[in-house]
Amino acid sequence: MKNKYLRTTIVMFIGFTIISKIGAQDSGNTEMKPFEIERESIKKSVTSLRTAFSKMFSTAKFVDKKGTGSCKPEDLVGKISIDGLISDNKNLIEEFSSIKDAYLGYPSHLRDAPSREEAYSFDTRNYKSMEDGALSSFSNTTNFADFVKIYTGADVGELDEFDMRTVRGQYENLKANKDLEFYIETEEFMSLSCSHEASSYIKMKKLDYPNATWVIRTVITADCDCSIASELTKNIQSGSIEYIAETTGLITKSAITFEQVKNAKVTVGTLICCPVIEEESKTTLNDPKNDDKGDFQLGAYAGLPFGDEKDFYSLNIGVEATYLFNLSEYFSAGIGVGYTHFTPKEFTVGSSTFKGEGIGYAPVFAAAQYRFSEKINVGATLGYALSTDSDVDGGLYCDVSFGWEAIPNYTIRPRIQFINLGDDRNFNSFGIGVSRSF
């Protein structure tokens, strides 16, 4: 009988031991150690910070700055890829820890205490931790005395020496780091024909526990190879740009987050263009028109008469041919001939209707043209208009036109034409024409 009880006891002991080990293993699988919880919290904070930087890069509005030379600020901004500016390396977690320590650092003289409750005697009241209490109190005061009152509920003189040392240490730490800008990291990368270096920073702008507003920024410098085709370098030798934005989120002992990004913008700091290389075969503004020393133009126009003769003529139409010599990159001059005709109006006297005769002139003139760009120019002519009617005298001829090259070699020309016959008689018109360059 005794052997029977002994065997039963041994079996129960072995079974209890196995169950205990299984329970311990299950508990180990479901529970996370404190340092693992802390590391997971930092990883989540780093992920939200990286997301904030990415949002800044993708939503930043360009603040224009006029460029000089052959390159433009928007070319520098547009050719830098934002991919990879904030990398996923483990160093970013370690660097972020300095931000956490600056605002949530536990006083060093308390670290050897058996427990926090034994380390200080003041009541942290409704705060989840003494770090949260210090943050909340600091965001609602501007001096140490008020900080102590809000934090502990006691006046400065009511705290013992050890508690005063603890509270003052937290206050001085927050005050010292309030305006500190934290360096995040520097990344080096290549984009097309340029090498880039990007450095990122973060600085607290406002603390309003449990929230905070931060300023994040990334400064990028670029050095490009001017010997590579200009469509790759955009004629940029070197330059620097800055992305900057604000982000808001939580700042507590359990979590620091960067959630909302606003006021994102990008500005160009410096911009140096590649030297312009003069080519021996370089032509002037419009290559198809400047393969030789001149430009032949043939045009037609129509207009409405104005002045004294408008009562007798309804329409002015004409054609002209001009040859211009290229005297410089922007200025041309030459000679031309043309024909302009004024069609008569019908008018009624009593019950009778009359229609006069048209009149034509063949102007011979000198012409000049100034080009503001490949597409825009202004022209003028001066000469003498020969009458095609032997009974009518000729007169001084001139016109002024504004040219816009709508499609290659075809220019639209609003124009004003004057023919002065003397004796206060003028044939004037305002119209529009089209000319073709050969």
Q: What digits encode the pLDDT tens for the residues 1-19?
A: 445 444 544 445 444 454 4
Mean pLDDT of 163-186: 87
Q: What digits encode the pLDDT tens for the residues 72-121?
A: 888 787 767 676 666 655 667 777 778 888 888 777 666 665 555 556 67
Preceding peptide of 210 cis, ω within 30°? yes
Q: Is residue 230 part of a domain?
A: yes
* Unique residue bearing structure tokens 């990008």: 266
Residues 151 and 225 occupy one common structural domain: yes
Residues 50 and 75 occupy one common structural domain: yes
At a CB cut-off of 8 Å and minimum separation 6, what does 74 contact?
A: 62, 64
Looking at residue 17, what DSSP letter applies? H
Last residue of a domain, one of 245, 277, 309: 277
Domain span including residue 311:
287-437
Q: Where are the alpha helices (DSSP H) in 31-160?
A: 34-59, 73-78, 90-104, 116-119, 130-138, 144-152
Q: Which residue, among 138, 129, 124, has the nearest Cα to 253 in the 3D structure? A: 129
- Percent of the chain whose predicted confidence (pLDDT) is above 90: 29
Q: What digits encode the pLDDT tens for the residues 231-283?
A: 656 678 888 889 999 999 999 988 899 989 999 999 888 888 888 765 544 44
pLDDT for the residue 283: 45
Q: What residues pair up with 288 in beta bridges, in sequence order?
A: none
pLDDT for the residue 46: 86
Residues 108 and 246 occupy one common structural domain: yes
DSSP 68-80: -TT--HHHHHHTS
Mean pLDDT of 143-165: 89
Neighbours of 218 (CB within 10 A): 24
Q: What residues pair up with 205 in beta bridges, in sequence order?
A: none
d(CA 110, CA 205): 30
Mean pLDDT for the chain overall: 80
pLDDT for the residue 88: 59
Q: What digits encode the pLDDT tens for the residues 187-232?
A: 777 766 778 888 889 999 999 999 999 999 999 888 888 877 666 5
Q: What digits encode the pLDDT tens for the residues 291-328?
A: 457 789 999 999 999 887 787 888 999 999 999 998 88
The pTM of this model reads: 0.55
Where is pLDDT greater, at 32 or 257? Answer: 257
Residues 317 and 415 occupy one common structural domain: yes
Range ranked top by mean pLDDT from 118-132, 180-194, 358-372, 423-437: 358-372
pLDDT for the residue 336: 94
Q: Are strands 313-326 and 331-344 parallel, antiparallel or unpaired?
A: antiparallel
- 406: domain CATH number is 2.40.160.20
Judge whether residue 433 has pLDDT over 60.
yes
Domain count, the chain: 2
Q: Is residue 27 part of a domain?
A: no
Residues 265 and 301 occupy one common structural domain: no
